[in-house]
Structure 1
Amino acid sequence: MTDLSSFPVTKKWPAKNPDIIQLYSLPTPNGVKVSIALEELGLAYEAHRIEFGAEGVKSPEFVSLNPNGRIPALIDPNGPDGKPIGLFESGAILVYLAEKTGKLLPADVAGRYETLCWVMFQMGGIGPMFGQFGHFFKYAADKVANNSYPMERYRDESKRLLSVLEERLKTRKWLMGEDYTIADIATFPWVRGADVFYGGREALDYASFPAVMAWLERCLARPASAKGLEIPA
């Protein structure tokens, strides 16, 4: 049995089976990226629900795993050289899992880097911009009731990013063509989330992006997506 005692997070959220991957997360657009990938890859894992706030993501135990105090984070007891490794940042975790298994990332160097470009497009663009749109559109609407600029700024940038996806997907089944990759897994939860979490479908004019909407439906239809979107319960 693997000894994970060097990771303080396992004291607050004990591992029932320390020989499998330990996932610390919530079913948010960022969190479900990792659970969906784990389901796609068929890797055994144990999910721990980490709430927001002082007892969850801001607790010393969790911060010891992710200094930034954000989900998701992960411990792989069978990391490089067979030693346990702790990871944070959803994009980094997706790359790690893909490279660990040799799946969801093209084997050829050019394809690999093109896929990583689209992962970084999500990490640096879609995630932050959609998140800010949602904040001002839904959660802080009362605070900016007399100033529409913040919501409009992030709405318009989110729509611009959707137009980039639209052009990419007009002639492709997946972001990388015929192969489903971590680029799709990184991105589609945010496109779904802007509607499901923020109610932004009409504000972002989803009807104007038919290729994106068709791609989103294909992503959601995958069995691993259906399961991963609900983890941790």
Structure 2
Amino acid sequence: MKNIVKCSLALVVLQLAGCGSTSNESTNVYKSSIYNDPAKVDSNVVQGIGIESQDILAMTDYIMGSIMAEGRIVDRSTAARVVLDSKYFINESSSRINKNLLTDRLRIQLNSKASDKLVFVGREYIAMIEKERALKRTGTTDAGTIRTTSATAGADFRLTGRISSLDAVNSDTQQTSRYHQIIFELYDLELGTVAWNGIYEFKKTAQDNVIYR
């Protein structure tokens, strides 16, 4: 009789344990990621007053169109050589932003749209290029399949820019308005003059409780 009681109690414990594990599993159901259109404002996505994906896409598309319409840059008999990276792109705003998101997308978009009118010169990896050139010229490696040159490509223009902002806080509603002004300029690398410039502006109002990383 005692053995029967013990077995019954053990069975009850096992059943309870099984129910407990089922409950935990049901609360830890895996949910797949949701893809959002980076070009559109979505009410289901976290939104703040900083520079966000739709701003980056709209901004770079607008600036690309402005550069493509500048005859002094794109309508030359020989394609202009341009350095387009974030080295001289300054962020003085209240917004946290990876500047490469702007310059990389702008360079790639321009390269695909104006490949026969603009040549992009890489300065970020100049040490890598010079190292390989040295290996070829000392005979450590052969010359490869691309022609040799006396020097690396010089540039005609370089992109510079500045991100600025102005904040206003409503103490009653605890909302913040932020005005962004983003300046893009292409400098003539011989004369030092501004060959082209463009501006992109926008203003947002919201509770400033979104953290950008």
Q: Which of these two proteins has the greater Rg computed from alpha carbons?
A: 2
Of Structure 1 and Structure 2, which has the larger fraction of its residues in strand? 2
TM-score for the superposition, normalised by structure 2: 0.24
Of Structure 1 and Structure 2, which has the larger fraction of its residues in helix? 1
